[in-house]
Amino acid sequence: MFTLYHFFFLFLTILILVYMYRVFQGPTVYDRILGLNGVSTKAILLLTILGSLYGRLEMFVDIALGYALLNIIGGLAVGKYLEQKRTREC
């Protein structure tokens, strides 16, 4: 049975593929970091939607919370590192 939550799940998966285009194709490294930030935001939403779909939100929401904290570590750490490194081409 195909419910609306299945549709939301498929739609977010397609949006992740769209962001992956920017991650692989981006001209500078900053485009790739921004694309990865978008992908991880979509992954958090995907996990909560999946929890609603299975009716076990209390299990999936903890994984999503950990993923949100990994998102800040990844994005901020790579951003600060690239700012300090002063590379012109990459």
Partner 1 sequence: MLTVDTLLIFIGLFFLTVAAIGVIRLPDVFSRSHALSITDTLGTFFVLTGVAYQGLTLADVKVFLILFALWHLNPVISHAVLRAALRNGVRPWVKEKK
Residues that bind partner 1 (CB under 8 A): 4, 8, 11-12, 15, 18-19, 21-22, 28, 30-31, 33-35, 37-38, 41-42, 44-45, 48-49, 51-52, 57-58, 61-62, 64-65, 68-69, 71-72, 75-76, 78-80, 82-83, 85-88
d(CA 67, CA 90): 27
* Angle between the N-to-C axes of helices 29-54 and 4-25, in degrees from 0 to 180, rounded to the nearest 10: 170
Other beta carbons within 10 angstroms of residue 46's beta carbon come to 20
Dihedral angle sign, alpha carbons of residues 50, 55, 57, 60? negative
Q: Residue 50 CB, nearest distance to partner 1 (Å)?
A: 10
